[in-house]
Amino acid sequence: MPQKNSFDKNDLIACGNGELFGEGNARLPSDNMLMMDRVIKITEEGGKYGKGEIIAELDITPDLWFFDCHFKSDPVMPGCLGLDAMWQLIGFFLGWAGGPGRGRALGVGEVKFTGQVLPTAKKVTYRIDLKRVIKRKLFMGLGDGVVEVDGKKIYEANDLKVGLFTDTSSF
């Protein structure tokens, strides 16, 4: 059976429940912390560095949970949620690529915020270009990411790093 290259919301929820990559392996966050509605493209080739790419989307509606609390009378999506979404996607990529273990964000080189997500926006698009994928005892992905709102680039993150670990007791 060929590997899937796109995933809908039900697939992403199944991933959060441990049903997509197997028990003990990469999961997406569930409920409010799942920062995407679909993965529209995931490949092990292509992208800026030829190591793979991921494109995912989040539909924006004014009733999203974070608009009520960040900030009162000045609603904006927290930038850290966009950054977390990019880490989520690299972890998802590693699970999709067959990596064993649980995902953990390991860092980021540089982040730039040049815009914002307001309740009036329609769609956030995440684009990740994998720079390096290590598939040895350590299963790790390193990539660059961009967040766009309604087609306008608003965040950039370089050297996003995520690893998969079969034992997380030492964290």
Catalytic residue ranges: 70
CB 142 within 8 A of CB 159: yes
Q: What is the dihedral of CA 166, 167, 170, 171, to 10 degrees?
A: 50
Cα separation, 154 vs 150, in Å, equals: 10
Give CA separation, 137 vs 45, 107, 134, 140, 169, in Å: 22, 19, 9, 9, 17
Nearest Cα to Cα of residue 114 among 146, 88, 142:
146
